């Protein structure tokens, strides 16, 4: 199987990748396989992100990794015009959205290369792009695109 | 503030020059502001037995209270640095009252000073929340996310946000100490550049050097001093979240709970308030704060500002010295200083006539911490 090429415009995100640790390694390995995983509590069934050694809802340590389809909707968003970091410069103005996942957690995500205006309530799905040989980045795009 | 042994007052206020202030260290802003507040009260460093402080935003030093105390050449009985970001300025007053009630101290200084305008301001562009890969850097983008949600739920407009900034600039134009005094129009606002939509440049407070301080003591001691005592009538706080986007309702804040707590402890109602000094790092914050306090219905904050009801001379003057948006972008200590000046009648051209009760609203993080304080010049509970 051929590795998909890493687009130049995404390689610059490498320096923003946080260091690996015990908690985020499985998440990052899954992303590099093209999958989004969340933690699911085996005591209360809730899903969570970011990862922890305990359940935020009930405190249980019975957590398992579950693949999530990652779909949800835009709860709010902004369109950033300021070049805060060079990696995002080619995308300015770019959208950052608060995504309300169908599985429960909320997360922040970049929405890059949008060709239409987005609005609150729009359905979205994950877009996973390779940024190094072993690391990928989670972004979001409109479900209809 | 029932159930306390005595009443507590702010007896001295002071500040260093706001804006661009090269050559003045963070310590110097704190020391000079405290010395100015002591002089205002008719006290000296030798009267101080407590130093409480909020850490500078641009760096986060350890043991900041003892360091400021040493720079004042005093050995206080009480120090503390509180980590509630912009809400700390009121939280520290609560700590001061507790220390005095416990008999540990009688006269306590509270200060803040920083020099991000001429010194380092790297922390201002750090990613917000955990994930830099999401592209959310700097406070404006995060507050803009709150504003966008408020616009979606209540139809709040950029023209209404412009009117928040214009109201505060109008007041700053009457304040010779304000960093920005030049008036602007809604058109000027609409042609200022986007920072993070829905925010334009004029939605955002400036980065400012400066220091501000106040002195807290008992009513008994206050009556011996030269200035009219300003009574601390009620304090409340609330802390809805850490990562702002996990707050279930993004277009709300801790002002609701903190406000109820403060009004209850003071035995006052919103209708008793003559003016407000509201943390306004971005235009959306005071608009939401007025709603959460119950001065207007939820969703009506925008039209309240648009109808100029917060101007001096209007029904509820707000941010009489220009607020963070125009007087100084410092995180809130200056709002307490301005409330005290108003209650003493020292507001000069910007004085609210007949001001007897004022509300100070402080918040920090991304509307993730909140504190509210009610002040008066009358000792209402006598
Ligand atoms: Zn659980």
CA–centroid distance, A40 to ligand 1, in Å, is 8
**CA-CA-CA-CA torsion sign (B19, B24, B27, B31):** negative
CA–CA min distance B198, chain A (Å): 7
The reported pLDDT for the residue numbered A1 is: 45
Confirm whether B46 is domain-assigned: yes
What digits encode the pLDDT tens for the residues A6-16? 778 899 999 99
Instruction: Report the C-alpha gap between B344 and B270 in whole angstroms.
Output: 21
Task: Look at A93 and B197 and tell me if their CB atoms are within 8 Å.
Answer: yes
Interface mutation target, options B128, B133, B245, chain A, most CBs of A under 10 Å: B133
Confirm whether B190 is domain-assigned: no
Which residue of chain B has the CA closest to A120?
B152
Instruction: Report the C-alpha gap between B90 and B258 in whole angstroms.
Output: 11
Task: Look at A96 and B195 and tell me if their CB atoms are within 8 Å.
Answer: no
Instruction: Report the C-alpha gap between B13 and B321 in whole angstroms.
Output: 14
- Is B31's pLDDT higher than 70? yes
Instruction: Report the C-alpha gap between B320 and B313 in whole angstroms.
Output: 11
What digits encode the pLDDT tens for the residues B135-153? 999 899 999 999 999 999 9
- Is B124's pLDDT higher than 80? no
The reported pLDDT for the residue numbered B382 is: 40
Instruction: Report the C-alpha gap between B14 and B50 in whole angstroms.
Output: 17
Structure tokens at A99: 């995504």
pLDDT band at residue B127 using 50, 70 and 90 as cut-offs: confident
Task: Look at B197 and A82 and tell me if their CB atoms are within 8 Å.
Answer: no
**Residue A57: CA count within 13 A, CB half-sphere:** 15
Task: Look at A76 and B130 and tell me if their CB atoms are within 8 Å.
Answer: no
Give residue limits of the domains in chain A: 8-142
Instruction: Report the C-alpha gap between B88 and B97 in whole angstroms.
Output: 14
Contact list, B196 vs chain A (CB under 8 Å): 78-82
Task: Look at B134 and A18 and tell me if their CB atoms are within 8 Å.
Answer: no
Mean pLDDT throughout B23-30?
Answer: 96
Confirm whether B144 is domain-assigned: no
- More confident position, B348 or A6: B348
What digits encode the pLDDT tens for the residues A71-107? 999 999 999 999 999 999 999 999 999 999 999 999 9
- Range of B28's domain? 8-120+207-222
SS3 B218: strand
Confirm whether B313 is domain-assigned: no
Average pLDDT across chain B, whole number: 95
Mean pLDDT throughout B240-248?
Answer: 92
Confirm whether B160 is domain-assigned: no
Confirm whether B2 is domain-assigned: no
Q: Cβ of A42: how many Cβ atoms within 10 Å?
A: 12
Task: Look at B245 and A138 and tell me if their CB atoms are within 8 Å.
Answer: no
Q: In this structure, what CATH number is given to the domain that contains residue B73?
A: 3.40.47.10
Confirm whether B227 is domain-assigned: no
Domain tally, chain B: 1
Q: Cβ of B31: how many Cβ atoms within 10 Å?
A: 23
ipTM summary value: 0.95
CA–CA min distance A119, chain B (Å): 9
Give the burial string for A43-63 (b: 16+ CB within 10 Å, else e). eeebbbbbbeeebeeeeeeeb
Structure tokens at A92: 């300015």
Instruction: Report the C-alpha gap between B133 and A14 in whole angstroms.
Output: 9
């Amino acid at each position: 199987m051929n590795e998909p090429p890493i687009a130049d415009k995404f390689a610059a995100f490498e320096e923003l990748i946080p260091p690996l640790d015990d908690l985020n390694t499985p998440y990052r390995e899954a992303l590099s396989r093209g999958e989004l995983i969340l933690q699911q509590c085996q005591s209360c069934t809730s899903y969570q992100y970011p990862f922890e050694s305990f359940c935020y809802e009930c405190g249980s340590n019975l957590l398992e990794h579950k693949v999530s389809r990652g779909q949800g909707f835009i709860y709010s968003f902004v369109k950033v015009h300021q070049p805060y970091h060079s990696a995002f410069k080619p995308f300015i103005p770019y959208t950052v959205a608060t995504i309300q996942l169908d599985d429960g957690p909320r997360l922040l995500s970049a929405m890059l290369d949008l060709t239409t205006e987005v609005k609150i309530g729009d359905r979205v799905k994950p877009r996973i792009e390779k940024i190094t040989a072993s690391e990928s980045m989670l972004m979001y795009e409109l479900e209809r695109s | 503030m029932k159930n306390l042994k005595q009443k507590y007052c702010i007896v001295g206020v002071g500040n260093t020059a706001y804006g661009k202030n090269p050559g003045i260290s963070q310590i110097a802003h704190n020391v000079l502001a405290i010395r100015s507040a002591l002089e205002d009260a008719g006290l000296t460093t030798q009267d101080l037995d407590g130093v409480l402080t909020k850490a500078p935003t641009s760096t986060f030093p350890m043991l900041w209270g003892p360091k400021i105390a040493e720079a004042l050449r005093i050995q206080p009985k009480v120090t503390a640095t509180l980590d509630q970001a912009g809400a700390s300025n009121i939280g520290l007053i609560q700590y001061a009252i507790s220390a005095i009630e416990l008999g540990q101290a009688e006269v306590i200084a509270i200060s803040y000073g920083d020099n991000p305008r001429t010194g380092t301001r790297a922390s201002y562009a750090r990613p917000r929340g955990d994930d830099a890969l999401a592209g959310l850097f700097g406070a404006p983008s995060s507050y803009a996310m709150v504003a966008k949600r408020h616009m979606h739920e209540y139809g709040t407009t950029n023209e209404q946000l412009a009117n928040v900034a214009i109201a505060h600039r109008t007041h700053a134009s009457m304040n010779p100490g304000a960093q920005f005094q030049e008036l602007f129009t809604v058109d000027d606002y609409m042609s200022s550049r986007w920072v993070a939509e829905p925010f334009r440049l004029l939605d955002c407070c400036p980065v400012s050097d400066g220091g501000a301080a106040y002195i807290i003591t008992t009513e008994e001691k206050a009556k011996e001093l030269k200035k009219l005592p300003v009574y601390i009538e009620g304090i409340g706080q609330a802390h809805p979240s850490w990562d702002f986007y996990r707050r279930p309702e993004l277009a709300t804040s801790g002002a609701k709970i903190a406000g109820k707590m403060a009004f209850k402890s003071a035995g006052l109602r919103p209708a008793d308030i003559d003016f407000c000094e509201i943390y306004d790092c971005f235009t959306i914050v005071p608009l939401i704060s007025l709603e959460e306090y119950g001065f207007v219905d939820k969703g009506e904050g925008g039209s309240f500002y648009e109808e100029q009801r917060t101007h001096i001379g209007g029904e509820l003057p707000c941010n009489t010295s220009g607020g963070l948006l125009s007087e100084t972008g410092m995180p809130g200590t200056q709002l307490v200083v301005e409330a005290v000046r108003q209650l003493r009648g020292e507001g000069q051209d910007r004085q609210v006539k007949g001001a007897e009760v004022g509300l100070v609203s402080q918040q920090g993080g991304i509307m993730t911490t909140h504190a509210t304080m009610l002040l008066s010049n009358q000792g209402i509970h006598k």
